[in-house]
Amino acid sequence: MLGWLPIEWQDRLGAIRRYRLLGARGSSHAILARVDGTTFHGGLTDRWKGIVSLYALSKATKRDFRLLYTFPFQLTDYQVPAAYDWQLREGELSENVFQVTLKRLIGDPSLQRVQRLAPDKQIHGYANRDWMDAINETYHTQFTWGELFRELFTPSVRLNAALEPYRKRLNKPYIAVAFRTQNLFGDYTEYHYQPADAVRQAQVIQSCLSFLQELHAKEGFPILVTSDSERLAEQCATLPFVTASCGKAAHADTSANSPQEQYLKSFVDFYLLAEAQAVYCAGTKEMYPSDFPKYAAKVYDVPFHRVALD
């Protein structure tokens, strides 16, 4: 509704609507990353990009960092603080319009709108881009995405319990392949994507299976397969050298009322990909060249490859 206004004015009017003249003043002047469902956030990878970028900015500018992540789940069900405690303390969150600067940075690849942050205000940011290179260049830092991700996050007890059976089954060095199908097989609801016809679906499955066979013959390692398609993952699991992460997944931005187990699958997939010796993202022309496996590979800085299939 306010899209015709300059973005800075949109932020100011948004702050006036959200915060109160006599609202509580928080005790912290932190940069606060928000994922609360009040705006478009994107998928899980986009959210991590924005969170890690705002954390890097807080380190570069010597400010505290906090994370408020409540949509469509409480992040602490799956990830908890690691080396840095990003959870809000009692009394820290400001709701006072004079003490908060609101920044909607969704889709914004630049640092320009957050380079002049008032030191006496709490910064509430919505972000879904990776600014690491720009931050390092601007502030003469040498952050890496994986380093900061590991400082922020470690699996929760629940997530570790879900990862353990896969870790035991793999139990040796492995390589990983991610197939991001969107709704090609009609089993993953996401935005407006439509399934392919039955003939093309069968062709795509065969193309993915053939690639796995060729990769295994070349590399010799067991292969972990992740996919947003339950059907494709189950087909891949029929190969004797494949361990597939099966089960139904849910998109964090388009499936707001899904069972928690469906969100859990995405976290399981991400950490299993991150723990591989190398990560591949393979797909046909209908499939999406996802950043999900690319950023999983960044966690421990392992090789990442994209492969186009017929």
Top-confidence residue, 109 or 218: 218
Residue 16 lies in a domain: yes
Q: Are residues 126 and 173 in the same domain?
A: no
Q: Supply 223's token pair.
A: 């292969």
Residue 28 shares a structural domain with residue 55: yes
pLDDT of residue 4: 58
Domain co-membership, 121 together with 95: yes
Tokens matching residue 154? 């470690």
Task: For residue 1, tell me if it sits in a domain.
Answer: no
Establish if 2 belongs to a structural domain. no
Residue 18: pLDDT band (50, 70, 90) is: confident
213, 205 in Cβ contact below 8 A? no
| Residue 119, in any domain of the structure | yes
CATH number reported for the structural domain that contains residue 230 in this entry: 3.40.50.11350
Report yes or no on 84 lying in a domain.
yes
**Is residue 138 located within the same domain as residue 186?**
no
pLDDT score, position 23? 60
Give the helix/strand (H/E) hosting 81: strand 79-81
Q: Of residues 258 and 15, which shows the higher confidence score?
A: 258
Between 111 and 77, residue with greater pLDDT: 77
DSSP class of residue 76 equals G
The boundaries of the domain holding residue 56 are: 7-155
User: How many domains, the chain?
Assistant: 2
| Residues in contact with 239: Cβ distance below 8 Å, sequence separation at least 6, in sequence order | 209, 212, 213, 216, 223
Q: How confident is the model at residue 6 (pLDDT cuts 50, 70, 90)?
A: low
Q: Do the Cβ atoms of 48 and 149 come closer than 8 Å? A: yes
Cis peptide, bond prior to residue 72, ω within 30 of zero = yes
> Both 247 and 221 in a single domain?
yes
CA distance 87 to 80: 9
Residues 282 and 253 in one domain: yes
What is the pLDDT of the chain when averaged over all its residues?
91
Q: 112 and 22 in one domain? A: yes
Same-domain pairing of 167 and 137? no
The per-residue b/e assignment along 28-67, b for 16 or more CB within 10 angstroms, e otherwise, is bbbbbbbbeeeeebbbbbbbbbbbbbbbbbbbbeebbbbb
pLDDT in tens, 40-49: 899 999 999 9
pLDDT at position 40? 86
Do 169 and 93 fall within a single domain? no
Q: Is the pLDDT of residue 22 over 60?
A: no
Q: 198 with 127, same domain?
A: no
Q: Which candidate, 247, 280, 283, places its Cα nearest to that of 266?
A: 247
Q: Is 145 helix (H, G, I), strand (E, B) or coil?
A: helix
Q: Which of 137, 155, 173 is the last residue of a domain?
A: 155
State pLDDT tens for residues 32-74: 999 999 888 999 999 999 999 999 999 999 999 999 999 999 9
Least confident of 9-23, 101-115, 167-181, 209-223: 9-23
Using the structure block, give the residue that is written with the tokens 């954390």. 55
**pLDDT over 60 (residue 17):** yes
In this predicted model, which residue has the larger pLDDT, 7 or 270?
270
In a domain, 300, yes or no: yes
122-166: pLDDT as tens digits: 999 999 999 999 999 999 999 999 999 999 999 999 999 999 999
Instruction: Determine the pLDDT at residue 60.
Output: 96
Mean pLDDT of the region 278-300? 97
How far is residue 247's CA from residue 249's CA, in Å, rounded to a whole number? 7
Question: 310 by DSSP, 3-state: which?
Answer: coil
| Collapsed DSSP state (helix, strand, coil) of residue 226 | strand
